[in-house]
Structure 1
Amino acid sequence: MASLKELRARIGSVKSTKKITSAMKMVAAAKLRRAQQKAEAAGPYAVAMRRMLGELAAAMAGQDGAPKLLAGTGGDRVHLLVPITSDRGLAGGFNSNINRRTRQTVRKLQAEGKIVKLLPVGRKGADYLAREFSDLIVDRVIGVGGKELPFSAASDLGDKIVSLLDAGEFDVCTVIYNQFRNVMSQVPTPLQLIPLGLDDAAAAEPDANAAQYEFEPDEQTLLERLLPRNLQVQLYAAMLESAAGEQGARMTAMDNATRNAGKAIDRLSQTYNRTRQANITNELIEIMSGAQAV
C-alpha cells in the first residue's frame, strides 16, 4: 500500500494535470468559435464554385483540349492522396481517423492495381505515413496549422499539386479531411479534386436545370485563371473544416481528460483518507497496548 506521502504527491500531480487540461479545453473552445465561423463562411462559396465547374466539366466531357484541372489526364492509373491532419496531438481520434482512412484508401487502390502517391498535410499525418508508406510520399506540408490559417497555405499547396500534375506525376487527386459536423463529430471525408466532377447534389438535378455558360473574354483565358483558383478554394475550405474539427476534437478530449482527472482525485482522496484512518487506528492500538502492559 502506498504511503501517505506518496498519495499526497499523486493527488497534487493529478490536480496539476487537471488544471492544464481545463485550460486547454477553454483555449480550444475559444479557437473553435473562430475556426467554425471561418469554415461556415467559406463553405457556401466553395460549394457554389465546385458546382459550377462540375457542371462545366460534365458539359466538356470527352472534348479535346479540356484543361487537365477540369477533365484530368484521361486516365486513373496513378492516384495522389492529400490527407489533412494537425501538427499537434491531444485531439482524441482526430488524426488517427484520417490516418486510418488514408491507409484503407491506399490498400484499396493498390488492390485494384493502382499506383498511389501521398502528399500529407500536417505533422501527425506525415509522421504516421512515413512509417507506413515512406516510399509513397512525394512531398509534405507542415506548419500550416498555427493560430491563423492564411489562404496562402492553400495557395501554396495548390501550386504543388498543379506542378505535379503538369509533370505527369498523377492522374487523379483526392483530398481526405475531417468534415466538421459538430463538437462531438468530425467525419473523415474524401473529396476528388482532379478531375473535377459533379457532386452528389448537382448530379441529382435534372438535366433541364443545368446552367448554360457564356465565356467572356474567352473560354481558355477564363478557365486558366478560374481552375487554379477553384483548386485553392476547395483546399482552403477543406483545411478550414479540418481546423474547426481539430479544435472541436481537442475541446472534447480535454473535457474528458478533466472529468477523468476529477474522478482520479476523488479515488485517491478516498484512499488517502482510509490509509490515514488506518494509521491512526494502528497508533491508538499501539498506545492502548502499551498502557495495558504498564
Structure 2
Amino acid sequence: MPSLKDVKMKIVGVGKTKQITKAMNMVASAKLRGAQARIERFRPYAGKYRQVLAELARKVEDGAHPLLAEHQEKKRCAIVLVTSDRGLCGGFNANIVNAALKLAAEKRSEGMDVQFACVGRKGRDAIRSAGQEITLSYGDRMGSVDFALASSVALEMIHGYETLALDEVWMVYGEFVSMGHQPPRNLRLLPLSAPEAGQEEEAAQGAHCEYLYEPNEEQLLAELLPSYVKVQVYRGLLDTAASEHAARMAAMDNATRNCNEMINTLTLLYNKTRQASITSELIDIVGGAEALNG
C-alpha cells in the first residue's frame, strides 16, 4: 500500500491538472463562439454562390471553361487536407487524417497518383509520418483563418488543374454540424459540375428560377468559377476551425470529469491508508503494553 505522502502528492498533482483542463475548456468555449458565428454567417453566402453557379453551368456547353472540363485520362489527384495546428481535441484530427488516407487509397486503386496539400500542422505531420507525398504545406495558420489563405490554396489547385498537372482535386475537412458532432467530410473541388455545384440548394429551394445575365454566361463563369473554389476552401477552413474548438471543449470537459473521479478515488485510498496506519500504530502500542504487563 502506498504511503500517505505519495497519495497526497498524487491528489495535489491531479488537482493542478484539473485546473489546467478547466482553463483550456473556458478558452476553447470563448474561441468557439467567434468561430461558430463566422461559419454560420458564411454558409448562406456559400450556398447562394453554389446555386448561382449551378444555374450558370446548366446554360453553357461542357468544356466552356477549363474548370468544368473532365480530363479524359485521370492520372494525378490532389487532396487538400485541413486539420488543426494543435492537439488536445480528442480524435478530431485523427478522424480527418484517416478519412483522407482512405480517400487516397481509393484513388490509388483507380490508378491515380495522389499528392497532399496540407493546411494545419497536425495533418501535415500525420501525412508525413505515413510516408505520403506533400506538395504544399501551410503550418501554424489555423489560429487566424482568413480568406487570403483560402485564396492561396485555391489558386495553387486551379493552376495545377488548368495546366493538366492535376486531374482531380478533393478537400477533406471537419464539418461543424453541432457541438457534439464534427464528422470529416470529402468534397470534390475540381472538376466542377452542375449537379455537384447546386444539388443541395436546389432541393431546399424547390422552385426553379430563371435568371438573365449581363454579360453572357461564359464571361461570368470565367470570373465566378475560380472564386467558387476559393469560397469552398474558405468554408472548409472555417468549418474546421469551429470544429476544432468544439472538439477541444468536449475533450477538456471529459478530462476535467476524469480528474474529479480520480481525485475521489485517491481520496478514498488516502483515507484507507491513513486508517490502516492508525490501526497498525494502535496494534503496536497495545502489543507493547501487553508485553510490559506480562
**Could you say whether these structures have the same fold, taking a TM-score greater than 0.5 normalized by the shorter chain as the test?**
yes
1:79 matched to 2:77: yes
Aligned equivalent of 1:138:
135
* Aligned-partner residue type, residue 119 of structure 1: A
Structure 1, 193-202 or 105-114: larger mean CA deviation: 193-202
Structure 1, 108-117 or 221-230: larger mean CA deviation: 221-230
Structure 1, 251-260 or 192-201: larger mean CA deviation: 192-201
Q: 1:177 aligns with which of 167, 170, 173?
A: 173
Q: 1:56 and 1:245, CA in 2 relative to 1: closer, same or farther beyond 3 A? A: same
1:243-289 CA deviation, whole Å, 9 max, x = no partner? 11100000000000000011001001100110011001101110111
CA distance in 2, matches of 1:259, 1:127: 30
* Aligned-partner residue type, residue 164 of structure 1: G
CA distance in 2, matches of 1:133, 1:109: 16
Q: 1:176 and 1:58, CA in 2 relative to 1: closer, same or farther beyond 3 A? A: farther
Give the superposition deviation at 1:151: 1.4
For the aligned residues, what is the CA RMSD?
Answer: 2.1
* Aligned-partner residue type, residue 23 of structure 1: A
Instruction: Name stretches of at least 5 consecutive residues in structure 2 with no aligned partner.
Output: none
* Aligned-partner residue type, residue 201 of structure 1: E
CA distance in 2, matches of 1:220, 1:59: 9
1:38 matched to 2:38: yes
Instruction: Name stretches of at least 5 consecutive residues in structure 1 with no aligned partner.
Output: none
Aligned equivalent of 1:149:
145
Length-normalised TM-score, structure 2: 0.91
Aligned equivalent of 2:237:
239
Give the superposition deviation at 1:74: 5.0
Partners of 1:86 and 1:125 within 8 A in 2: yes
* Aligned-partner residue type, residue 151 of structure 1: F
Aligned equivalent of 2:127:
129
* Aligned-partner residue type, residue 248 of structure 1: A
Q: Map 1:267-282 to 2 at 5 A.
A: 267-282=265-280
Q: Map 1:1-294 to 2 at 5 A.
A: 1-63=1-63, 66-73=64-71, 75-134=73-132, 136-146=133-143, 148-197=144-193, 198-199=195-196, 200-201=199-200, 209=208, 211-216=210-215, 218-294=216-292
Give the superposition deviation at 1:206: 11
CA distance in 1, matches of 2:207, 2:33: 41
Q: 1:207 and 1:260, CA in 2 relative to 1: closer, same or farther beyond 3 A? A: closer
> Would you say how many aligned residue pairs link Structure 1 and Structure 2?
289
* Aligned-partner residue type, residue 173 of structure 1: V
CA distance in 2, matches of 1:46, 1:261: 42
* Aligned-partner residue type, residue 209 of structure 1: H
Helix, strand or coil for the counterpart of 1:168? Answer: coil
1:116-163 CA deviation, whole Å, 9 max, x = no partner? 2211111111111112133x22111112211x3221111121222223
* Aligned-partner residue type, residue 150 of structure 2: A
CA distance in 2, matches of 1:48, 1:192: 18
Give the superposition deviation at 1:207: 11
